[in-house]
Amino acid sequence: MLVIIGKDYDGMSREAANIVADRIRRKPNLVLGLATGSTPLGLYRELIRMYKGGSLSFSKVITFNLDEYIGLPRTHTQSYAHFMQENLFKHVDMDPHYIHIPDGLANDIDAHCEWYENEIQRWGGIDLQIVGIGANGHIAFNEPGSSLGSRTRIKTLSQQTIEDNMRFFKKKDEVPKFAITMGIGTIMEAKEVLLLASSSNKADAIKAAVEGPITAMVPASIIQMHRKAYVILDREAAAKLTQQYEQR
């Protein structure tokens, strides 16, 4: 596990973007796992900048997103499909046929989850997976207590997550209560994992994930078992780490 501490959010985003861009340049048909949330926004901005500058193309890149809410159409402004469209896909030369995001309106959710896993395998497995971390140590929608071997499946959102999400919806009963998420086992099979965290509200989770014991109560701690993982932080997220790490 390589921990890299950037000077600030932009520094962290640049470090992450340089790794992603390097992998795409080496393998134009990279299978890239993507996350939503506020943390990777800087990374996506940087990748868009590289594309617009002519130094990067996404035309052959295959993407798989970590998760999606159940019950929201792709066009809903709070769906992760919409997030990806707005914050990355519409700004670069992605082929829409190569984009994979779990379908929150699938009729048979279990069959869809199985299809998603098989689709990842069909493309040769994920080469590089980007993940964020929740303040409680979750990765994707794998909340504390999730099986460390879990696969893509339906998860009930925690009460906390439902309450946190209320501000994004007009009516309380519009807030999704379920999501489809890649499992921890799915994420761990990616050839490389890039975990990003910024700001002080992630410092405890990062301390537990990077220097604490591996436990299902801190799902992100499984990253210690990965053969090729990068943890890219800003100084605030790294503030509670006690070992020496690479400062950039």
Would the CA dihedral through 141, 101, 40, 78 be positive or negative?
A: negative
Binding track, positions 55-94, relative to ligand F6R; x by CB under 6 A:
-----------xx---------------------------
- Give the residue numbers annotated as catalytic, written as ranges: 67, 136, 138, 143
Compute the residue count for the chain.
Answer: 248
Q: Which one of the spans 48-56, 119-127, 135-143, 232-240 is the region binding ligand F6R (CB under 6 A)?
A: 135-143
Shortest distance, CB of residue 36 to ligand F6R, whole angstroms?
A: 4
CA dihedral sign, ordered 208, 211, 213, 216: positive
Query: What is the full DSSP assignment across 11-59?
Result: HHHHHHHHHHHHHHHH-TT-EEEE--SSTTHHHHHHHHHHHHTTS---T
- We find the least distance from the C-beta atom of residue 158 to ligand F6R, in angstroms, to be 11
132 binds ligand F6R (CB under 6 A): yes
Q: How far is the CB of 10 from ligand F6R (least distance, A)?
A: 15
- Residue in the shown chain whose Cβ atom is closest to ligand F6R: 132
CB of 243 to ligand F6R, least distance (A): 23
Indicate the burial class of 189 (C-beta count within 10 angstroms; 0-12, 13-18, 19 or more): middle
182 binds ligand F6R per the rule CB under 6 A: no
Cβ at position 181, least distance to ligand F6R in Å: 7
Q: Among residue numbers 25 through 44, which ones bind ligand F6R (CB under 6 A)?
A: 35-39
112, 138, 153, 207: residue in contact with ligand F6R (rule CB under 6 A): 138
Site for ligand F6R in 210-239 (CB under 6 A): none
Nearer to ligand F6R, 23 or 36 (CB): 36
Query: Which amino acid belongs to residue 196?
Result: L
Residue 57 or residue 239: which is nearer to ligand F6R going by CB?
Answer: 239
- CA–CA dist 154, 110 (Å, integer): 8
Q: Phi and psi at residue 232, in whole multiples of 5°?
A: -115, 125
Is 27 or 41 the residue whose CB approaches ligand F6R more closely?
41
Cα separation, 72 vs 174, whole angstroms: 9
Cα–Cα dist 155/153, whole Å: 6
Q: What are the backbone dihedrals phi and psi of residue 90, each rounded to the nearest 5 degrees, phi first?
A: -70, -10
> What residues make contact with ligand F6R under the rule CB under 6 A?
35-39, 66-67, 132-134, 138-140
